[in-house]
Amino acid sequence: MYDLIIRNGMVVDGTRAPAYQADVCIQNGRIAEITAQCGAEAKEVIDAAGKVVSPGFIDIHTHSDLAPLSPFDPESIASTDNFYQGIDYFMMPSLRNIGFSLSFKF
């Protein structure tokens, strides 16, 4: 028995292969199996029909440097837009490039 099965989603796996419909089986917080149709049971099942299932994305050029210093507004597109797009890791630019860091002296 898996912890979670995401069924019927269009899988985009980051390998540049065409998207394909599959079930993604999760165990202990990790992908255990990706298969055309998983016959196993799970503690939780999500029907992803009509949705895309993909790994998180890394934003290697973000302009969210000052976001931690701004008040969070859950209704603001600026506060939540990246997460709605699946971006879950940000690489902040250096001061030589662009942007600010917490050590920036005004």
Highest mean pLDDT among 1-10, 53-62, 76-85: 1-10
C-alpha span between 77 and 90 (Å, rounded): 17
pLDDT, tens digit, 9 for 90 and up, residues 79-100: 556 666 666 666 665 555 555 5
CA dihedral 97, 98, 102, 106 (to 10 degrees): 110
